[in-house]
Amino acid sequence: MGDPRFASQLFSGMRGLGRLFQGASTVNAILKGNLIEQAAEAGLRSIFIGFESLAADSLSFSNKSQNLGRDYAAAIQRLDSLGIKINGSFVFGLDGDTPDVFARTVDWAVAQGLTTATFHIATPYPGTAYYKQMQAQGRLTTQNWDLYDTRHVVFEPRGMSRAQLKTGYDWAYEAFYSWANIAKASQNHAAFNQRLRHFAYSAGWKKAEPVWNFMIQHNLLSPMRQVLETVLDGRTPQPKLRSQHALEKVL
């Protein structure tokens, strides 16, 4: 929602159409403006947020200045009050990270009730300032571009070994999507129906991957749209928060 006036008109036009959609935003955008309520009324039910890191020095290193000093919990509470599920994105291996970053991040994401999470290994893509910095410091370990996919370690991290980074990244996915943590995270919602939908959505996201692969291969996704929308929907009116901060930009 880079253009708030256009976004407001768009959401007004979408109200009543009965269609649900997903979006993406920065933390900074969620804490400004008054468009998040309009987006929810228009059908926004899930949003991707780049939290990136819980450490200020890591955010500074990754040029995520828009997240510095932001109240992550306040943004999450606001979205939860509107029945909007959150897919949080986190990056591991930044220069401020040490081996404890994996457990701290997973524990925080579960405690905040994030519905889904995507984890990434810091990747210095060619042509970026990050790449030039890693190259100048002699920390790049390969030029096999197939490995520059945020799932492989292609540089020498500063706060841990390459093996620790890869192992921790793999562990984070396994830990966050364990049955115990799915159940635990689903309890961190005010409305009971949102707890049930959280559990169904999160479990379906990772635990049913073979089923989704089968459905995609056999063109069966369309008949499942109603099921997906039922899981995504189910908003329960909540008391308005005192602060009227909201989403100003959905990328």
Q: Does residue 129 sit within a domain? A: no
Query: 74-117 pLDDT, tens per residue?
Result: 899 999 999 899 999 999 999 989 999 999 999 999 999 999 99
| Bridge partners, 21 (sequence order) | 44
User: The CATH number of the domain where 100 resides is what?
Assistant: 3.80.30
Angle at 43 between CA 67 and CA 64, to 5 degrees: 10
Place of tokens 């959609």: 21
**Tell me, what DSSP letter sits at residue 235?**
-
Angle between helices 225-232 and 192-206 (to 10 degrees): 130
Beta strands in the chain, from DSSP E residues, in sequence order: 21-25, 44-52, 85-92, 116-121
Model confidence at 119: pLDDT above 70: yes
Residue 247 lies in a domain: no
Query: Which residues form the domain of 27?
Result: 20-122+157-232
Partnered with residue 89 across adjacent β-strands are: 50, 118
Both structure tokens of 49: 């947020």
Q: Judge whether 95 lies within some domain.
A: yes
- Whether the model clears a pTM of 0.85, i.e. scores above it, the answer is no
In a domain, 83, yes or no: yes
Q: For the segment 206-228, what is each residue's pLDDT rounded down to a tens digit? A: 887 888 788 888 887 777 776 77
Asked if residue 120 has pLDDT above 70, the reply is: yes
Q: What is the chain's length? A: 251
Report the number of distinct structural domains present in the chain: 1
Tell me the three state secondary structure of residue 221: coil
Is residue 71 within 8 A of residue 48, CB to CB? The reply is no
Q: Number of C-alpha atoms within 13 angstroms, CB side, residue 50? A: 18
